Each structure stands twice: as structure tokens, then as C-alpha cells.
Amino acid sequence: MKHRMALLASVTPALLLAALTPLQVSARQTSNPPQKAASTVTDSARGVAHPELWPAAKSKGLVDAKTEAFVTGLMAKMSLEDKVGQMIQADISTVTPADLANYPLGSILAGGDSAPAGGDDRAGPDKWVETARAFRAASLAERPGHVAIPIMFGIDAVHGNNNVVGATLFPHNSALGATHDPALIRRIGVATAQETAAAGIDWAFGPTLAVPQDHRWGRTYEGYSEDPDIVRQYAGEMVLGLQGQAGAGQALQRGHVAASAKHFLGDGGTTNGVDQGDADVSEQDLIRIHAAGYPAAVDAGIMTVMASFSSWQGAKMHGNKSLLTDVLKGRMGFDGFVVGDWNGHGQVPGCTADSCPAAVLAGLDMFMAPNDWKALFTNTVAQVKAGTIPMARIDDAVRRILRVKTKLGLFDPARPFELKDGVIGNAEHRALAREAVRKSLVLLKNNGQVLPLKAKSHVLVVGEAADEIGRQTGGWTLSWQGTGNKNSDFPGATSLYEGIRQAVTAGGGTVDLSADGSYTTKPDVAVVVFGEMPYAEFQGDIPSLEFQAGDKQDLALLRKLKAQGIPVVSVFLSGRPLWVNPEINASDAFVAAWFPGSEGGGVADVLVGDMLGRPRYDFTGKLSYSWPKTAAQATLNRLRQPYDPLFPFGYGLRYADAKPVTVPQLPEVSGVDAAAANIDTYFVKGRNPAPWSFVLRQGAASVPVPGDGTATEVAGALALKPVDAGGIQGAGRQLSWTGKGEAAIAVTGGNALDLTRQANGALSLQVDYRVDEAPAGTVWLISGPGSGTGPATPGALDLTSVLKAAPLGQWQTLKIKLSCFKQAGADLSRVTTPFALSTGGTLRLSLATVRLSANPAGSICPGH
Ligand code: BGC
Ligand code: BGC
């Protein structure tokens, strides 16, 4: 109990205790370490588990005599090729139905960026059904000497069936954790399964059972909680929601799909929260924290488990026999199959994406081989023939896969393609999502009881995120990173602004929308919507918990409104708790809204009261992740000492609180070196946020540019001076090249950046610029290691035609995919110059912004 005292001075412990549900109280009592201690782990035994220390479990309803006899009959007729084919899953961006005639694959998936039939990623459900039908028909085509087995189609339906336009998008898992409501999780599972099945898809790659321990991890929002007990209590519920109850001799009910618990194991325990990193934790912690949800998922009959990209004690999970086979299939009695993660087998030592007997030997049953499935198939068949992989292992894997397909009902001709009108995005599912939004909101501050808003008032809704649905849906939404979405991609969804507008106008008030906080009629109150941009996987990994470390643009907006005497309500969109003390100070009320999904109306339900200002719904959400007091508290967790949060696990204010809580002014020292935290913002609003600065280069000469942009020049070849940009005095820099030799402006100053993984994904270098006088010679844009200028520099892209085409005197935004610089030869693992612009000819050009952008819309590869 002691750590619970570490509260805000003004929040009484009694108040907090009152906020704890029985669920949490009992949870706390059960989170003791296992009784038996592991034998001393020697170095040679690192990464090897001791199954006897693990909790026992048993798959329910997967194995029964009828099913096993059916599978035995099938297997007796299958060739080695038929069997190996079952063990491979290809991505629909690289495989066609026709390929199945030569490669009898067991499964297909649609990756986050993979489009259905016709190639349009924003196509509606009918295209997904068409895709599923075509692959299913091809898998069932009769061919001599081959046993036709229905293919199984999987997708990341992780917050609703989120790849399909028009689907209901539920709040992400970190939000659902705040509801502390296992029954709600089951209902969301049911709705998600229906919308997935209705699109012709058989299998959802969820639930994520990660227990994120370092909130810098970009996948923190995919986990329900930092607390193993919440994950334990949700795991079985989500499985039962998605799959329903598997019964002896009987297939899943219509409208249910197979689930996949992921990522086994320790994905949330990697050092420094590095995605795909190493969980260097004891076996006791692996059991007590990271494995918490798995016994429940297995007991509930989960059909598949996905291996993690990450390592445990240095050993890659895709190759860890003691965990995949001895613990999961042995001790935990898991009778379904283990699927790999996206080319994850290729990371096992000695393996490549197209060859990995070690993973099969370790217990992997199905490779997720998005693009190298052809060679993988050929190599695996050869490895069985050569005796590298014993036939018994293949037979075990294939039996597990066919068992799941049977129990899933894939052999039942009536089972798939259940598209009935009115399933995807229907009113009932949207109402459920809206309820989940209401229950997941956590009220962190409500000084002066500014909330609930009186409906009969004039409300200004502020911020670019307020009416942009893609900002509230987060990653894994229509695209992998959740970026590049427009409101028109979300038919039937409601933005936060729209929800507030409806609620306020229904109560007789008025609402204005303003991206930048300007207004014509002074509002009674401002609701400012801001937060993290969408991200997925490693692209969300951050160096510290400081929000907007490089550029506190939203803070400026809050302060501007507050300075005008307007009460400010902040609605913060984020996947995780972040250090926002300055933003909290600049707000009268502060609501953690997470990534709430498509039903923005749920926010208004709680924020906007009735005409008299009485609440229509109270806040009930309570933190399932501890909120940090400094940006350095990345591993804050109530189960770990010292525990000194700003708002502890379980915190959340309510309108009904007996005694109103006042959050005092908070310290604004982040506790981390802002410079070390800023890897992506190089020049914005007339400043180079630390540690970056501009330098002018010519040959060996290098002249630093003062932070205020004082006129500077190098060797008579290039001069810089401040100019206005975006209506702000001195917010830009104008560069004038004279043609006296190759000269460059560059960003320097920070430690070498490793941008390899950012380049793998959708990240771009964004430059807001204005051509004042067209280039006479070739202009090079550079990002990479070293301090070279001109064409010989690795990573130099020819920007000439882009600049020549730009209208003179008008600001433009240029986004260049980081991968373009890699193609141009830059080693992106040690970038010291994230940006340079170089020419030997004359040119006059102004810069307003230089930064990395997570929004790939409009990105190009100049010169390609
Ligand atoms: C992710 C998984 C996901 C898979 C398929 C991987 O990169 O780690 O969570 O299910 O891709 O999209
Ligand atoms: C896919 C994702 C996958 C990721 C793995 C992306 O291209 O769309 O589904 O998880 O690659 O790196």
C-alpha cells in the first residue's frame, strides 16, 4: 500500500481507494511472484526456460476424437509439398490465387499496407470478400495428387476490423485498459469478429497480450496495461469474444473468427522499450509479468499464438524451443498453432527470410513469410528431404494447423463469406464503441469544475486534430502506421469536433471550430484537441516521455487561449502517458482520451453536460498506465520501487467525487536532456530546437549560423538571413547562393541518428520552402552520414527539377521518403547530417520547416 501514498498532495488516499474497483483490489493481492525460485541461471543457460516453474493451462475445446480422425484422414493423403505449404503464410501484396496451383499455401495475410483485390487500399468490404473468395476457391480447386485444403485468411483486426473502410474502430487497447471492464472487452471481441468475418476474413491477429514496461515503446498502446493483472483478466474475455466457445466436435459459430495471442513472449519487456529488442529479464519476471495473459488465453481455447520479434535474454523468440515448445505447447497445454511474425524467423541466427529450419525445430508451425514464400517453400521441402527437419515435426505442425481450420469451420461449405448487409460499421457496434470511448476517458484535472461544459454556451473547439478523424484512430487504421487518412476514408465515423457540435447545439449552445485558436466571437470555453500523431511499431519508439520535445506547438496554443482569459479544456490524444506538465498547467481541465477510434461522440457524451451543466455521463475511466512526474520515468510501474508517479495507476477524477480535487501548479522541468530527446525536429518557427543548428559549408570551410538567424555567410558562396514565414516575423531563413563554388546549408549538432527502421517505414524528411529565384545549376538534397556537399555525397538526391517547377515566391511543402536517401547510397544507421541543401549554381530559397514527418501523404523520391 505504501506506494499508493505517493499521490498529488491534494488527492487524498481515501479518495483514491474509493476509486479502486474490487477488480483492482483482488488483482493486487494476486500479483505475487511464483513460489518456486528459478535455479541459478548460468550464462550458458540464458534464454532457456524451466517449464516446471510456469503456470499450467490447457486448451479447451480444440482436441476431440472426431476432429483428430478427420485430420488424420486428410494427412494420410497429403504429399510433403502439401504439408509444407500449409506451414507458410504469404501476404496478399505478393501472392495471387493462381499461385496456389504451384504453391499450396496454408494461409494468406493482409499486412497493414496491403490492399484487397483491385489494389485500392481504400476499397470497401466487397473487395475484401472478393479477395477472400478468390483465394478460397483457388485453394479448393481439384488437382491430381493434391489434397484441397481451404486457405485461412488473417488480418490485423486489432481495434475493430481496422483495415476495412467503414468498419467500427474501437479505442486502442491502452484506452480499453482504462475502462477496467472485462465484460466490455468480450462484447468488443464479438463485434470485431462479426465485422472481420463479414469481410470474408477468418482470423484476427489479436489480442496483443504485451504488458508494456517501458512506455517509450511505440507499441505501448497495443497493450491493455503495464499491469499484468489487467492483461490476465482481459485475455480470456477477448478470446471468447472473437472466437466464441469452441466445443467438442463442433466448429466456431458463424460470425466468429480465430484469434491470435501476441507476441509470445516478452514483447513488452525489451530494454529501453526498443521495438523488437531484447527482454533481458529474469525468468520469474517473464512468468509473472509478460506471460500473465497466456494461460487465460489458452484456457479460453485460443487457436493461434504469434511468436514475438523480440528476444529473451539474447535469444530470439522465433528460435526458442524451451518457450515455444516446452512452455507453451507443453506446460501450458496449447493445442493450436504457433504463427511467426512478419519475416520474424529471418532474424534467428543462421536463418534468412527464405530459409529457417531452426524456427520449425523450435516449434514454429506456420511461417509468416510475406514476400519470400516461394523460396521458403522450396527450401523447407528440401530441408525435410535432407533430414534437417524431421517429418514428425512437420506432421505435428500440420496437424495443429488442420485442427484449427477444422474447428474454425473452414471445411464447412456454408461457413465463410458471411457478408450480410448491416454488419460492418452498424449502429449497434458504433454504440458499443462509443460506450467504450466514454468509459476509457480519464479525467486528470478539473480545476474550478470547468467540466462538464454547459451545453447552453459558446464553445470553441480548437486544434488540427479536432476534426481530423485519422488523429483519433491512431496506428493500425486503414494503413499500417495509421497515417495518410482523410475524413472521407471514414464513412459513418464522428470526429471529436462533430460530437461536441452535436451535443452542444442539441443543448441550445453554439460551437465554432478553429485549427489555430483564432475566433470572431469570444468563447465561454475552449476545448483543445491535440496529442501524438498516429504511429505503429518502431516508428512510435521515442527517446523520452517528453511530449513534443523539439517543438511545443500545442502548448503555445493552450497558453495563447489562457492568456485571453478563456477557460481551457485539453483533450489529449495519445497511445500512452507522456510528460505534459506544461500542457496540464496551461489547462483548467485535462482529459486523457488515448486513441479513441471512430466514435468521437463518446467524448462529448462525458464532456458536455445538459443545458444546466449537469453531467449526462460521469467519468469512470481510471489509469491502467501510471502517469509520469518527469519525462525520465519511462519505466514507472506500481509493481516497482521507487514509485513516484504524477498520477498513480488507478487514478481518475469523477464529477461525483465527494470533494473536488484541485491539481496544483506542476514543476515544468522535464528531467531529461531535451536535446537527447529531439531526433526529429531540426528547424521550426524560426528556431533550431536543441541539439540541432544550421551551418553553412563551402569546401573545408564551415560557418555556424547563430540560433536567431543573424546574417551569416561562407566564402562569398552562400549567405543566410532571417525572413518572415507563415506570417511570423523571422520564422524563416533565406539562403542566397552566388555560384562561387559548391556550397551547402546543413543541419548538424546531435549525436549520430540511427534512422534505418524509420526509413523502412513511412517516415519522410519534410521541408517547407519557398523558391525566391530559380536554380541555375544542379541542387542536391542530402541526408546521411558525413559532412560532404554536392553530388559525390552518399545520400544526395537531385532536387533541381522539383525546385524549377515550384512557383516563385510561394511556400511549398516537400516530403522525401527517408528510404530515398538510402537508395541514393546513404548509410542511415549513422546520420550526422539529417538535412543539407547544396548547389554550385545561383539560387535564392527560403526555409520555414525542416523535420521528420510521420505523415507520408504526398511523399516523393526526387530523381527516381
Ligand atoms: C506485427 C504483428 C502483425 C504482423 C502482420 C508485424 O509486423 O508485429 O503484430 O500482426 O506484422 O501485420
Ligand atoms: C506491413 C505490416 C507489417 C510491417 C512489418 C508493413 O509493411 O504492412 O503489416 O507489420 O510491414 O515491418
Using one digit for the tens of pLDDT, what is the confidence trace for 487-505? 999 999 999 999 999 999 9
Please state whether beta strands 743-748 and 833-839 pair in parallel, antiparallel, or not at all (unpaired): antiparallel
Three-class SS of residue 406? helix
Same-domain status, 597 and 509: yes
pLDDT at 757 over 90: no
Q: Measured between alpha carbons, how far is 82 from 106 in angstroms, rounded to an integer?
A: 9
Mean pLDDT over 680-691 rounds to: 90
Distance 108 CA to ligand 2 centre (A): 14
Q: 22 exposed, middle or buried (CB, 10 Å; 0-12, 13-18, 19+)?
A: exposed
* Cβ–ligand 1 contact at 341 (below 6 Å): yes
Q: How far is the CA of 163 from the centre of ligand 2 (A)?
A: 13
**Is residue 22 situated within a structural domain?**
no
Query: Same domain for 348 and 254?
Result: yes
C-alpha 482/C-alpha 425 separation (Å) is 18
- The per-residue pLDDT for 791 is 82
Atom of ligand 1 nearest to the CA of 112: 12
pLDDT-derived band at 44, boundaries 50, 70, 90: low
- Range with the poorest average pLDDT among 524-533, 649-658, 701-710, 837-846: 701-710
Q: Give CA–CA dist 670/663, Å, rounded.
A: 18
Residue 129 lies in domain? 53-408
343 alpha carbon to ligand 2 midpoint, in Å?
10
Residues 223 and 118 in one domain: yes
**Domain assignment present for 435:** no
**Measured CA distances, 189 to 75, 159, 203, 490, 682 (Å):** 33, 9, 12, 21, 43
Mean pLDDT of the region 16-40: 35
pLDDT for 5 beyond 70: no
Q: What is the mean pLDDT of residues 26-51?
A: 54
Residue 610 sits in the same domain as residue 752: no
Measured in Å, residue 841 CA sits from the centre of ligand 2 at: 42
Tell me: do 611 and 691 sit in the same domain.
no
Domain identity same for 667 and 790: no
pLDDT digits (tens, 9 = 90+) for 549-563: 878 989 999 999 999
Which pLDDT value is given to residue 635? Answer: 96
Residue 13 has pLDDT above 60, yes or no: no
pTM beyond 0.85: the answer is yes
The pLDDT tens digits of the residues spanning 126-159 come to 999 999 999 999 999 999 999 999 999 999 999 9
Q: Using the structure block, give the residue that is written with the C-alpha cell 541526408.
A: 783
pLDDT at 821 over 80: yes
pLDDT at res. 729: 87
Nearest atom of ligand 1 to the alpha carbon of 537: 8
The answer to whether residue 733 sits within a structural domain is yes
For the domain that residue 342 is a member of, what is the CATH number?
3.20.20.300
- Return the pLDDT at 144: 92
Distance CA 599, CA 502 (A): 13
Residue 424 within any structural domain of the chain: no
379 closest CA partner among 405, 417, 346, 401: 346
Best residue for ligand 1 mutational test, from 156, 347, 478 (most atoms within 8 Å of Cβ): 156
Cβ pair 201, 151 in contact under 8 A: no
Mean of all residue pLDDT scores within the chain: 92
SS3 for 192? helix
Q: CA-to-CA distance for 808 and 166, rounded, in angstroms?
A: 41
Residue 417, pLDDT > 70, answer no
* Whole-number Å distance between alpha carbons of 475 and 458: 33
pLDDT band for position 419 (cuts 50, 70, 90): low
Would you state the pLDDT for residue 25? 29
The CB of 285 under 6 Å from ligand 1? The reply is no
682 shares a domain with 654: no
The answer to whether residues 747 and 656 belong to one domain is no
Nine cell digits for residue 670:
522535464
The closest alpha carbon to 160, from 422, 421, 425, 339, belongs to: 425
Cell of 436: 467504450
The type of residue at 8 is L
Q: What is the pLDDT of residue 792?
A: 81
Report the alpha-carbon distance of residue 530 to residue 552 in Å, rounded. 11
Residues identified as active-site: 341, 537
Compute, in angstroms, the gap from residue 241 CA to the centroid of ligand 2.
26
Q: Is 822 in the pocket of ligand 1 (CB under 6 A)?
A: no
* Average of per-residue pLDDT across 183-208: 97
- Are 265 and 157 in the same domain? yes
Nearest CA to ligand 1 atom 11: 342
Atom from ligand 1 closest to the CA of residue 309: 8
Q: Is the CB of 111 under 6 A from ligand 1?
A: yes
What's 807's DSSP letter? P
- The CA 110 to ligand 1 mean position distance, Å, reads 10
pLDDT at 789: 79
Residues 391 and 450 reside in one and the same domain: no
- Among 342, 538, 763, 817, which residue has the most ligand 2 atoms within 8 Å of its CB, making it the best to mutate? 342
- C-alpha span between 87 and 69 (Å, rounded): 20
- Nine-digit cell string for 45: 543457460
**Which residue's C-alpha comes closest to atom 8 of ligand 2?**
112
Classify residue 110: in a domain, yes or no: yes
- State the pLDDT at residue 612: 86
C-beta separation of 592 from 574 below 8 A: yes
Distance CA 404, CA 73 (A): 15
Query: Any idea which residue has 523447407 for its cell?
Result: 380
Q: pLDDT tier at 302 (50, 70, 90 boundaries)?
A: very high
Average pLDDT over residues 777-791: 87
Give tens-digit pLDDT for 633-642.
999 999 999 9
Q: Which atom of ligand 2 is nearest to the CA of 536?
A: 10
| Closest to 615 measured CA to CA, from 760, 451, 457 | 451
Cβ contact 596:439 at 8 Å: no
Please indicate whether residue 342, judged by its CB atom, sits closer than 6 Å to ligand 1: yes
Residue list, ligand 2 pocket, CB within 6 Å: 111-113, 342, 480
> Total structural domains in the chain?
3
Sequence letter at residue 310: S
Ligand 1 centroid to Cα of residue 709, in Å, is: 45
**Alpha-carbon span 184 to 563, nearest angstrom:** 41
91 lines ligand 1 (CB under 6 A): no
Give mean pLDDT, residues 579-585: 98
Q: Which of 339, 476, 480 to mutate to test the pocket of ligand 2 (most atoms within 8 A of CB)?
A: 480
Question: pLDDT confidence of 754, banded at 50, 70, 90?
Answer: confident
Give dist(CA 337, CA 335) in Å, integer.
7
CATH of the domain at 732: 2.60.120.430
- Give pLDDT, residue 271: 96
The backbone torsions φ and ψ at residue 703, rounded to the nearest 5 degrees and listed phi first, read -120, 120
Best of 121, 158, 342, 477 for a ligand 1 pocket test (most atoms within 8 Å of beta carbon): 342
Q: Is 203 in the pocket of ligand 1 (CB under 6 A)?
A: no
Does any ligand 1 atom lie closer than 6 A to the CB of residue 156? yes
CATH number for the domain spanning 517: value is 3.40.50.1700
Residue 367 and residue 107: Cα distance in Å, rounded? 10
pLDDT in tens, 116-129: 999 999 988 999 99
pLDDT at 825 over 60: yes
pLDDT digits (tens, 9 = 90+) for 57-67: 999 999 999 99
Give the pLDDT confidence score for residue 761 in this predicted structure: 63
Give the ligand at the shortest distance from the Cα of 267. Answer: 1
Q: Quick check: 33 pLDDT over 50?
A: no
Domain presence at residue 2: no
In this prediction, residues 395-412 reach a mean pLDDT of 97
Q: At what angle do helices 427-440 and 182-197 cross, to 10 degrees?
A: 150
Q: Cα(305)–Cα(344) distance, rounded to whole angstroms?
A: 14
User: Any idea which residue has 507499441 for its cell?
Assistant: 219
Q: For residue 363, tell me if it sits in a domain.
A: yes
Q: Are residues 197 and 300 in the same domain?
A: yes
Is residue 4 predicted with pLDDT exceeding 50?
Answer: no
pLDDT over 70 for what percent of the chain? 94
> Is 50 exceeded by the pLDDT of residue 41?
no
How far apart CA 491 and CA 410 sit, in angstroms, is 31
Do residues 312 and 323 make contact, with C-beta atoms less than 8 angstroms apart?
Answer: yes
639/743 same-domain check: no
262 lines ligand 1 (CB under 6 A): yes
Contact 59, 79 (CB under 8 A): no
| Final residue before a domain boundary, out of 385, 408, 431 | 408
Please report which confidence band the pLDDT of residue 9 belongs to, taking 50, 70 and 90 as the band edges: very low
Vertex 443 angle, CA 439 and 445, to 5°: 175
Give CA separation, 658 vs 440, 653, 654, in Å: 21, 10, 9
Give a yes or no: residue 858 inside a domain.
no
Cis peptide before 660 (omega within 30 of 0): no
CA of 342 to the centre of ligand 1 (A): 6
The 10s digit of each residue's pLDDT in 66-114 is 999 999 999 999 999 999 999 999 999 999 999 999 999 999 999 999 9
Please give the average per-residue pLDDT across 692-703, as a whole number.
93
Closest ligand 2 atom, residue 343 Cα: 5
Question: Which residue's alpha carbon is at the smallest distance from atom 5 of ligand 2?
Answer: 342
Note the pLDDT of residue 416: 66
Compute, in angstroms, the gap from residue 192 CA to the centroid of ligand 1: 18
* Chosen domain end from 673, 706, 740: 673
Record the cell numbers describing residue 342, joined without a space: 512478419
Answer yes or no: are the C-beta atoms of 560 and 602 closer than 8 Å: no
Compute the 3-state secondary structure of the chain and give helix, strand, coil in percent, each to the nearest 5.
30, 20, 50
Structure confidence at residue 12 (pLDDT)? 36
CA-nearest residue, atom 7 of ligand 2: 113
Which listed ligand is nearest to 341 at the C-alpha? 1
Could you tell me which residues come within 8 angstroms of residue 112 by beta carbon, excluding any fewer than 6 positions away?
156, 163, 476, 479, 480, 481, 536
Q: State which of 366, 385, 408 marks the end of a domain.
A: 408
Decide if pLDDT at 450 tops 90. yes
Q: Which atom of ligand 2 is nearest to the CA of 110?
A: 9
Helix (H) or strand (E) holding 316: strand 315-316
- Using a 6 Å cutoff on CB, does residue 475 contact ligand 1? no
What spacing in Å lies between the alpha carbon of 537 and ligand 2's midpoint?
9
d(CA 194, CA 254) in angstroms, rounded, equals 8
